[in-house]
């Protein structure tokens, strides 16, 4: 059946995806009955998007890259599992639902509904939203194994979360204690160090008279809670004060008692060399307090306002209001030495975008420094394991320069605060009875009177188990008698598909998620979670700025793009030029370029279909044979296909997917379309049966190579041109299946260089596209290829005559191109020489008239003296340009004889 005139994605994509799913192509098997030996496993766990979200360009590039890898490895014969799922996104999801309820008129959803009902409503909201994510992924062509779809709140994942928590608690890696945590007064919960970003803002730096010292601070309101001042042990200026205690009566505030301590963390060269220690509101100061047994006085509360400990005058004020009032009182009491402009690095929560308050609070933590993990026969800390797996090469980070960032993060890693003061999420598996009894386990304790801990776990705790908890058998997980090791040992998917092969995600969550997966998986399973981490860059707008819907003229929405252009064009725009860690500019130009390529593929396929039918009619394409192919151009095409497969494999295996896409595009457009499809229009190629075989083989190879990048159009064309099963299940081309034919290919490469050289002369000479030329070629190398391709060359360069000579063909009336394999002389054909001469004469006359007008203007004294200097300069430049044009046309005219 003849192909339609145009490829319309809307007419095909939904049906193609349905057929893929129904065929079982997406499903990975633990063991296939037809396989004598198990296939190599290739596994990707999809980084789960928020269940309540909408896919953006970051998700789109992730899906395009991961689907590319899965399709390639599936076609290469691997048992390829791409496991999809969504994340419950605790803080974000609860915030969305609470905000919606407030917009509906419920002022306090927590107080009104209570925990059980609010959690039920959140779960209901999530269930209604997850379908939207699935359909958006399908629209992009994601070939996930939907039969294994997971959700971070699934019962079997909750079982794994509770089991790991309990085991870490038993091993002394999880503890509860008072420490300084990052508190978000807006969200009313703790957040981890990695959920904070810093933003420079203009501020003030205050120097206070503080007993016998001068103390600098950017947050004077916290000085109401100081319990010490610290100096360096070797700072001679202050040694006489070390160990002393003195009182500081703050104006309209409390009289604080501070002790002078000597601590190595103080930099004597910074400011006065004296640090006011506020243990309740600084991570650094808390550590000093622990070393010197200092008390904590909390003057800022969880609501972001000052507490009673700040004194009755300031209690209840916001932090900002207290700062202004306290500074005014300090100034009035002559306790303010100076105020300087200062760039303050503000700690903000990346979810709420609001300031973070360091506060003391009893929370659950993971100890990252305790040597309690058995790894490679040694007892190591979680931090040491994190370092070892990358240093030893167990896990490879791409791009490799991210290793330095990774190690820096490890060096500065503090104990991980894993408890959150929200209701949506995995509830901490700890139960209390009275003030003495505590139970920790993966199932509730027996007996009456037990109350479960009210807090939930950090979302990243459950997400950190993603690569393996998703592979645990759900039925086994429902059996509370099995421990974690038994679950893993008896789960077929875990045994077959873990460790996973690649973790592909954005470099911006290397520490949020990737490092935590390594930390938790090595502990829980004794294995790395993945072998390779591929970190893609950010998708920026065409100006290099972050995508924003506030700039609709540069914002590319992936779902709108799929609707307008189709999924293939969206994917190609995200893949061409992509490399590990490289930010990508995405503009409409990329989409238009992708559309041109799809049109080229479609039109070339129509020509292939017609050409094969012209040569062999309706004959079964599987009977076409490549045995005994003789014509050098056909042999060249086969060798170029073999070479292309080898080069594409090399780029794919090196994770340079953008390079691989570009290699296929360039070969298809330049070698196949611009040269081979033109060459086969010439006798005898256009009637050889071997040409039909090579055409069929070539289009099959190109469709396979394009398929991971452009799955929909290639599947449609496969059905029309090949009709042997579905392309998604076809084998990947193998470069080693064919012998090398590089000598013949080198001959046709010479032919292509000759064509390019002659076309360049036509362009340089400004010849009319339809003008015929005479070409004489001195053959130095590859005579057989040039002779076999003589008619092809003549057609491609529009030559009236083309002769092959053994001697030099250079002459005064010809333009000559020189190559190691040939020398080509180009002359206009007799019939066109007169026409070209007339064309050049007309152009020359027009150019001379224009130049004369410019010269007259410059000879006009009124113009030269009265016009603006820049206007005169511009006319002089135009005259010089026109003079050069006249000279060039005169030379061209002379060459036409």
pTM of the model: 0.85
Average pLDDT, the chain: 92
pLDDT grade, residue 845 (50/70/90)? confident
Distance between CA atoms of residues 396 and 499, nearest Å = 13
Give pLDDT tens digits for 620-667. Answer: 888 899 998 999 999 999 999 999 999 999 999 999 999 999 999 999
Segment 443-471 shows an average pLDDT of: 95
Q: Is 584 helix (H, G, I), strand (E, B) or coil?
A: strand
pLDDT beyond 80 at 231: yes
Which residue in this structure is represented by tokens 């596994």?
43
Distance between CA atoms of residues 456 and 741, nearest Å = 65
Q: Which of 169, 180, 176, 414 is nearest to 290 (CA)?
A: 180
Segment 173-179 shows an average pLDDT of: 92
- The confidence score (pLDDT) of residue 2 equals 77
Give pLDDT tens digits for 259-285. Answer: 999 999 999 998 899 999 999 999 999
- The confidence score (pLDDT) of residue 46 equals 96
User: Given its phi and psi angles, is residue 581 left (phi above 0), alpha (psi -120 to 50 degrees) or beta?
Assistant: left
Q: Which of 647, 681, 642, 679 is nearest to 661 (CA)?
A: 647
Give pLDDT tens digits for 84-96. Answer: 999 998 888 898 8
Distance between CA atoms of residues 154 and 848, nearest Å = 82
CB burial class (10 A; 0-12, 13-18, 19+) of residue 502? buried
Which residue in this structure is represented by tokens 């007339």?
838
Q: Which of 204-207's residues contact partners 24+ apart within 8 Å by CB, and which partners?
A: 204/339, 204/340, 204/341, 204/342, 205/339, 205/340, 205/341, 205/342, 206/327, 206/330, 206/336, 206/338, 206/339, 207/271, 207/272, 207/336, 207/337, 207/338, 207/339, 207/340
pLDDT beyond 70 at 178: yes
**Number of C-beta neighbours around residue 343 at 10 A:** 10
pLDDT grade, residue 394 (50/70/90)? very high
Cis peptide leading into residue 88 (ω within 30°): no
pLDDT beyond 60 at 831: no
pLDDT grade, residue 211 (50/70/90)? confident
Q: In the sheet that 451-452 helps form, which strands lie side by side, from edge to edge?
A: 437-440, 430-433, 451-452
Segment 91-110 shows an average pLDDT of: 90
- The confidence score (pLDDT) of residue 196 equals 86
DSSP one-letter string for 662-721: HHHHHIIIIIIIIIIHHHTTSTTGGG-HHHHHHHHHHHHHHHHHHTTTSHHHHHHHHHHH
Give pLDDT tens digits for 285-308. Answer: 999 999 999 999 999 999 999 999
- The confidence score (pLDDT) of residue 777 equals 95
DSSP one-letter string for 76-104: TT-EEEEE-EEB--HHHHHHHHHHHHHHT
Paired with 540 in beta bridges are 546, 585
pLDDT beyond 80 at 510: no
637: DSSP letter:
H
pLDDT beyond 90 at 386: yes
- The confidence score (pLDDT) of residue 3 equals 87
pLDDT grade, residue 896 (50/70/90)? low
Q: Is 307 helix (H, G, I), strand (E, B) or coil?
A: coil
Segment 829-836 shows an average pLDDT of: 60
Give pLDDT tens digits for 476-504. Answer: 999 999 999 999 999 999 999 999 999 99
Distance between CA atoms of residues 610 and 444, nearest Å = 71
Q: For residue 376, what are the contacts with CB-CB under 8 A and spacing of at least 6?
A: 388
pLDDT beyond 70 at 548: no
- The confidence score (pLDDT) of residue 10 equals 92
Which residue in this structure is represented by tokens 């072998």?
531
Give pLDDT tens digits for 126-157. Answer: 888 888 889 999 999 999 999 999 999 999 99
Please give the share of the chain, as a percent, with pLDDT higher than 90. 73
pLDDT beyond 70 at 586: yes
Least confident window among 105-119, 190-204, 230-244, 707-721: 190-204
- The confidence score (pLDDT) of residue 367 equals 96
Q: Which of 593, 601, 588, 551 is nearest to 572 (CA)?
A: 593
**Number of C-beta neighbours around residue 871 at 10 A:** 12
- The confidence score (pLDDT) of residue 847 equals 85
Distance between CA atoms of residues 259 and 257, nearest Å = 7
Distance between CA atoms of residues 339 and 333, nearest Å = 15
Distance between CA atoms of residues 657 and 647, nearest Å = 12
Q: Is 283 helix (H, G, I), strand (E, B) or coil?
A: helix
Which residue in this structure is represented by tokens 């996973």?
500
Give pLDDT tens digits for 800-811. Answer: 899 999 898 888
pLDDT beyond 80 at 833: no
Distance between CA atoms of residues 205 and 220, nearest Å = 9
Segment 360-385 shows an average pLDDT of: 94
Segment 518-531 shows an average pLDDT of: 97
């Amino acid at each position: 059946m003849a192909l339609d005139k145009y490829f319309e994605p809307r007419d095909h994509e939904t049906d193609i995806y349905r057929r893929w799913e129904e065929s079982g192509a997406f499903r990975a098997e633990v063991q296939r009955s037809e396989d004598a030996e198990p296939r190599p496993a290739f596994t990707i766990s999809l980084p789960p998007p928020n269940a309540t979200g909408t896919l953006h360009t970051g998700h789109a590039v992730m899906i395009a890259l991961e689907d590319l890898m899965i399709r390639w490895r599936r076609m290469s014969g691997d048992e390829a599992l791409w496991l999809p799922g969504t994340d419950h996104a605790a803080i974000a999801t609860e915030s969305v639902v609470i905000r919606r309820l407030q917009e509906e008129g419920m002022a306090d959803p927590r107080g009104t509904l209570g925990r059980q009902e609010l959690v039920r409503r959140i779960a209901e909201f999530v269930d209604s939203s997850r379908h939207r994510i699935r359909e958006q992924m399908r629209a992009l062509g994601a070939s996930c194994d939907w039969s294994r779809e997971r959700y971070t709140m699934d019962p079997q994942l909750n079982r794994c979360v509770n089991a790991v928590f309990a085991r870490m608690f038993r091993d002394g890696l999880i503890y509860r204690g008072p420490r300084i945590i990052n508190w978000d007064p807006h969200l009313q919960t703790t957040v981890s160090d990695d959920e904070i970003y810093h933003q420079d803002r203009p501020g003030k730096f205050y120097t206070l008279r503080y007993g016998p010292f001068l103390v600098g601070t950017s947050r004077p309101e916290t000085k109401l809670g100081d319990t010490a001042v610290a100096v360096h042990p070797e700072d001679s200026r202050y040694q006489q004060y070390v160990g002393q205690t003195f009182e500081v009566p703050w104006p309209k505030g409390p009289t604080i008692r501070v002790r002078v301590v000597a601590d190595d963390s103080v930099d004597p060269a910074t400011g006065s060399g004296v640090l006011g220690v506020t243990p309740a509101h600084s991570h650094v100061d808390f550590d000093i307090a622990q070393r010197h047994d200092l008390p904590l006085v909390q003057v800022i509360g969880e609501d972001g306002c000052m507490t009673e400990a700040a004194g009755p005058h300031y209690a209840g004020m916001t932090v900002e209001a207290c700062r202004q009032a306290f500074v005014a009182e300090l100034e009035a009491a002559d306790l303010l030495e100076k105020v300087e402009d200062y760039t303050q690095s503000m700690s903000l929560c990346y979810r709420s975008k609001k300031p973070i308050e360091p506060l003391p609070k009893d929370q659950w933590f993971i100890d990252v420094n305790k040597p309690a993990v058995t790894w490679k026969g040694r007892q190591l800390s979680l931090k040491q394991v994190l370092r070892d797996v990358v240093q030893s090469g167990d896990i490879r980070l791409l791009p490799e320069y991210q290793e330095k960032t990774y190690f820096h993060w490890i060096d500065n890693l503090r104990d991980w605060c894993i408890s959150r003061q929200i209701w949506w999420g995995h509830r901490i598996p700890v139960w209390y009875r009275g003030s003495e009894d505590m139970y920790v386990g993966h199932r509730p304790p027996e007996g009456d009177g037990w109350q479960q801990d009210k807090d939930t776990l950090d979302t990243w705790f459950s997400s950190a188990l993603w690569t393996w908890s998703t592979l645990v058998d759900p039925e086994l997980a429902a059996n509370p008698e099995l421990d974690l090791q038994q679950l893993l040992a008896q789960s077929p998917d875990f045994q077959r598909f873990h460790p996973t092969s690649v973790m592909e995600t954005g470099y911006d969550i290397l520490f949020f998620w990737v490092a935590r997966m390594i930390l938790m998986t090595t502990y829980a399973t004794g294995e790395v979670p993945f072998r390779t981490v591929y970190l893609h860059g950010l998708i920026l707008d065409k100006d290099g700025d972050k995508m924003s819907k506030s700039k609709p003229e540069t914002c590319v929405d992936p779902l709108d793009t799929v609707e307008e252009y189709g999924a293939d064009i969206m994917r190609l725009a995200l893949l061409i030029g992509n490399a590990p860690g490289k930010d990508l500019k995405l503009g409409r130009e990329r989409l238009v370029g992708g559309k041109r390529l799809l049109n080229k593929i479609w039109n070339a396929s129509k020509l292939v279909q017609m050409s094969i039918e012209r040569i062999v009619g309706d004959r079964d394409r599987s009977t076409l044979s490549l045995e005994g192919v003789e014509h050098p151009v056909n042999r060249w095409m086969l060798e170029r296909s073999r070479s292309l497969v080898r080069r594409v494999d090399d780029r794919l295996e090196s994770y340079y997917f953008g390079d691989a896409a570009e290699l296929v595009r360039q070969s298809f457009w330049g070698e196949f379309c611009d040269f081979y499809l033109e060459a086969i229009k010439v006798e005898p190629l256009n009637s050889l049966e071997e040409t039909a075989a090579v055409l069929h083989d070539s289009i099959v190879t190109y469709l396979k190579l394009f398929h991971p990048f452009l799955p929909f159009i290639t599947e449609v064309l496969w059905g029309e041109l090949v009709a042997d099963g579905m392309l998604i299940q076809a084998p990947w081309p193998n470069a080693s299946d064919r012998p090398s034919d590089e000598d013949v290919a080198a001959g046709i490469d010479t032919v292509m260089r000759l064509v390019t050289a002659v076309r360049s002369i036509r362009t340089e000479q400004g010849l009319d596209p339809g003008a015929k030329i005479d070409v004489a070629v001195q053959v130095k190398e590859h005579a057989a290829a040039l002779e076999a391709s003589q008619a092809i060359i003549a057609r491609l360069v529009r030559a009236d005559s083309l002769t092959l000579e053994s001697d030099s063909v250079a002459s005064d009336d010809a333009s000559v191109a020189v190559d190691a394999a040939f020398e080509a002389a180009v002359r206009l054909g007799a019939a066109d020489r007169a026409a070209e001469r007339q064309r050049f004469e007309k152009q020359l006359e027009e150019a001379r008239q224009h130049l004369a007008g410019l010269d007259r203007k410059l000879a006009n004294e009124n113009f030269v003296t009265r016009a603006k200097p820049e206007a005169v300069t511009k006319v002089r430049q135009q005259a010089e340009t026109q003079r050069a044009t006249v000279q060039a046309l005169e030379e061209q005219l002379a060459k036409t004889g």
